[in-house]
Amino acid sequence: MSTSFQPSIEARKDIDFGLDADFPKYWNGNDPFKTRIMDALQLSFPDGERYFISSVRAFRDRITDPQLQRDVKEFTQQEAQHGIAHTKFNALLEAQGMPMARILTELKEYIKKDQTKYSDEFNLALTAAYEHFTALLAETFFARKEVTADIHPKMRALLAWHAIEEMEHRSVAFNVMKNVAKVGYFKRCAAMIIATRHTTSVMFNYADELLKTDGYSWLQRRMMVLKNLNWMYGRKGILSSMLPKLLMYFRPNFHPEDIPVIHNYGEWVKVYDSTGNPHDACAALLAAAY
Ligand SMILES: [Fe+2]
Ligand SMILES: [Fe+2]
């Protein structure tokens, strides 16, 4: 697939990933830390995605480019579907006894504070920054087979679908920010610093809280962090491998399409379009991974 290939944005609706009450608690290699750190990130998706939609929609009436208008519509529908799927997953976390009501209230309050404290332009800049993160998920998790080898197939299929669509709409919030809201370089960089800090604290603080609720002691939780340093920050760590492309955001002329879609993107789309089955599509994506 050519590196200049730009996928169209397509919202795929009502996908059932079969995440039911039988789904294992520690779905990532039966490892509490590797699972809970990803649970902590995922639990913020429904409220986060509602925030992304409203940040972009604040500028909807000022968008005159018909292509960008269409892109915003598809972006909104994609994020709404992601929110529905991850809300179902949050219900599973609740059923496991996780303090979801309190955590989600905290997240909502944090978002509300940003919406009150910052201008519409800066909220959109924060959204574009968060979208840069999510766009890198596909590459982080699905370019290489080994990264998701231990992840439960149902969760793998959910993450693959989400990652594919995040990659498809990776430029939408950025284009609205740059071309419509006219947010400049320093503001978008400041937003990225805040978004990075917030994403990191959500991941680590809530993972710690979920593990504490699971019954792990303070010492056990610290030992888990130490044990997984290489998984996160090693040469092929999930966070360290994301870093170079994350930092590209600070280039003055950066545009999300400077980062091509992953080489196996087309395999997922081809199989999903012909079968409507996200599990088969995920298998095809991984079969073509390195
Ligand atoms: Fe999303
Ligand atoms: Fe997104």
* Residue 3 pLDDT class (50, 70, 90 cuts): very low
Q: Are the CB atoms for 31 and 194 separated by under 8 Å?
A: no
Asked if residue 54 has pLDDT above 60, the reply is yes
Using DSSP, state whether 216 is helix, strand or coil.
Answer: coil
Which CA distances in Å does 107 have to 35, 63, 198, 199, 234?
20, 29, 11, 11, 30
Residue the block writes with tokens 């929609």: 57
Q: Which ligand is nearest to the CA of 52?
A: 2
Count other C-beta atoms under 10 Å from residue 29's C-beta. 15
Residues in the chain: 290
pTM: 0.95
Beta bridge partners of 151: 28
170-206: pLDDT as tens digits: 999 999 999 999 999 999 999 999 999 999 999 999 9
* Residue 4 pLDDT class (50, 70, 90 cuts): low
Distance (Å, whole) CA 245 – CA 256:
10
Q: Which ligand is nearest to the CA of 41?
A: 1
The residue ranges of every structural domain in the chain are 32-262
Check: CATH 3.40.50 for 32-262? Answer: no
Identify which of 89, 81, 79, 84 has the alpha carbon closest to the alpha carbon of residue 39: 89
Spacing, Cα 85 to ligand 2 middle (Å): 14
60-85: pLDDT as tens digits: 999 999 999 999 999 999 999 999 99
Spacing, Cα 77 to ligand 1 middle (Å): 10
Q: Which ligand is nearest to the CA of 131?
A: 2
Asked if residue 236 has pLDDT above 90, the reply is no
Question: CB-based contacts of 174: which residues, under 8 Å, 6+ apart?
Answer: 128, 131, 132, 255, 256
Spacing, Cα 249 to ligand 1 middle (Å): 19
Distance (Å, whole) CA 40 – CA 287:
28
Spacing, Cα 141 to ligand 1 middle (Å): 15
Which CA distances in Å does 263 have to 29, 134, 166, 288?
26, 17, 15, 8
Spacing, Cα 47 to ligand 2 middle (Å): 12
Q: Are the CB atoms for 282 and 161 separated by under 8 Å?
A: yes
Helix or strand holding residue 188 (H, E): helix 185-213
Mean pLDDT calculated for residue range 41-50: 96
Q: Which ligand is nearest to the CA of 85?
A: 1
Spacing, Cα 283 to ligand 2 middle (Å): 23
Identify which of 51, 46, 26 has the alpha carbon closest to the alpha carbon of residue 36: 26
Mean pLDDT of the chain: 94
End-to-end CA distance of the chain: 14
- Ligand 2 (single-atom ion) residues, CB below 5 Å: 131, 134, 166
